Amino acid sequence: MKEFPFHTFLNLVMFDRSITALEETIERKEAQLEQVQQQLQAHELLQEQLKEAEHVAQKTVDLQELDSKTLDIRIAKIKYNLDNVANPKEYASLSKELAKAQLEQQELETSLLDAWHTLESSKRDLQRSHSTHREQQAEITAQIAALQQEIDACDQQMAQLLAQRAEKQVGIPEEWLQKYEMMRNRITDPVVPIADKNCSGCAYVLSEQDLMRLSNRALLQCKHCFRFLYDPKLLNAMDVS
Ligand SMILES: [Zn+2]
C-alpha cells in the first residue's frame, strides 16, 4: 500500500465535506421553494374554485328566473283560456292544468330562493377571500423570490468550489483518488478518524502495526469496511487551509 501526503488528502476530504454541506443546503432550499410554490398554487386554485362557484350560482339563478318567467306566461295563457272556455269539459281540463302549473310555480319559487341564498353566500366567500388573497399572494411571491436568490447564490458558490476542486487533488495518487471517489459514491463518511484503536466507521480493531503507521502520518484503508482511516491526534498539528 503506497503512502501519500496526509495533509493534501485530508484537505481534499474537508473540502468535499463543505461541498456536501452546500449540496444539502441547496436541496433543503429547493424543497422549501417547492413547498412555497405549491402553497401559491393551492391559493390560486382556491380563488379559481370560489370564482367558479359564484359563476355556477349566478347561472342557476338566471336559468331559474327564466323558467319562472316562462311559467308566468303559461299561467297567464291558461287563465285567459279559462275565461273563454266553450264547454265544461274544457273548463275542467284547463283548471287541472292551471293547478298543476301553479304548484310548479310554488316549487320553482322555493328553489329560486335557495339559488339566491347560494349566490349571496358564494359572493361573500369570494369577497372575503379576495381581500386576503392579494396580501398573501404578495407575501408568498416575495418568499419565492428570496429563496430563489438564496439558491442562485448557493449555486454560484458551488460552481466556485467545483472549479477549485481539481487543485485540491494535486499530489494525491490517481489510484487513491479513484478509491476515494468510489467510497464517496457509496457512503457519506468515506474518511473517518480512528477511535480508541478501532475504525470509528465499523469498530474494526486495528493491529499495533497499523496504529504505528497511522501515528506516522499514514492513511490506511480499514480492512473490514474499506473506509480511509487517519489518526485524529495528527489533525491538531495540521494546517487545513
Ligand atoms: Zn472500518
CA angle 165, 234, 180 (to 5 degrees): 35
Same domain? 203 vs 123:
no
> pLDDT, tens digit, for every residue of 185-239?
899 899 999 999 999 999 999 999 999 999 888 889 999 999 999 998 887 665 4
Same domain? 219 vs 158:
no
Residue 226 CA, ligand 1 centroid: distance in Å: 6
Same domain? 192 vs 96:
no
Domain membership flag for residue 123:
yes
Residue 48 CA, ligand 1 centroid: distance in Å: 58
Average pLDDT over residues 106-111: 97
> Which residue shows C-alpha cell 411571491?
141
Residue 8 CA, ligand 1 centroid: distance in Å: 22
Residue 190 CA, ligand 1 centroid: distance in Å: 10
Range of the domain at 217: 174-237
Residue 17 CA, ligand 1 centroid: distance in Å: 19
Residue 221 CA, ligand 1 centroid: distance in Å: 8
Residue 198 CA, ligand 1 centroid: distance in Å: 8
The predicted structure's pLDDT at residue 4: 54
Q: What is the DSSP string of 145-206?
A: HHHHHHHHHHHHHHHHHHHHHHHHHTTS-HHHHHHHHHHHHH-S-SEEEEETTEETTT-PBP
Residue 105 CA, ligand 1 centroid: distance in Å: 87
Domain membership flag for residue 193:
yes
Residue 71 CA, ligand 1 centroid: distance in Å: 89
Residue 223 CA, ligand 1 centroid: distance in Å: 7
Domain membership flag for residue 63:
yes
Domain membership flag for residue 2:
no
Same domain? 116 vs 205:
no
Residue 175 CA, ligand 1 centroid: distance in Å: 20
Same domain? 180 vs 152:
no
Spatial distance between the Cα atoms of 93 and 86, rounded to a whole number of angstroms: 12
Same domain? 180 vs 86:
no
End-of-domain residue from the set 168, 190, 221: 168
More confident site: 218 or 113 = 113
Residue 222 CA, ligand 1 centroid: distance in Å: 5
Same domain? 202 vs 99:
no
Q: What is the DSSP string of 35-80?
A: HHHHHHHHHHHHHHHHHHHHHHHHHHHHHHHHHHHHHHHHHHHHHH
Same domain? 34 vs 148:
yes
Same domain? 46 vs 140:
yes
CATH number at residue 164: 1.10.287.1490
Residue 199 CA, ligand 1 centroid: distance in Å: 5
End-of-domain residue from the set 168, 200, 220: 168
The predicted structure's pLDDT at residue 237: 60
Domain membership flag for residue 23:
yes
Domain membership flag for residue 214:
yes
> pLDDT, tens digit, for every residue of 208-223?
999 999 988 888 999 9
End-of-domain residue from the set 121, 145, 168: 168
Same domain? 183 vs 148:
no
Residue 238 CA, ligand 1 centroid: distance in Å: 23
Spatial distance between the Cα atoms of 13 and 184, rounded to a whole number of angstroms: 10
Position 16 confidence tier, pLDDT thresholds 50, 70, 90: very high
Residue 63 CA, ligand 1 centroid: distance in Å: 78
> pLDDT, tens digit, for every residue of 156-192?
999 999 999 999 999 888 888 999 999 988 998 999 9
Domain membership flag for residue 6:
no
Q: What is the DSSP string of 198-230?
A: EETTT-PBPPHHHHHHHHTT--EE-TTT--EEE
Same domain? 89 vs 28:
yes
Number of domains, the chain: 2
Domain membership flag for residue 142:
yes
Same domain? 191 vs 229:
yes
Q: Under 8 Å CB-to-CB from 239, ≥6 apart: which residues?
A: 7
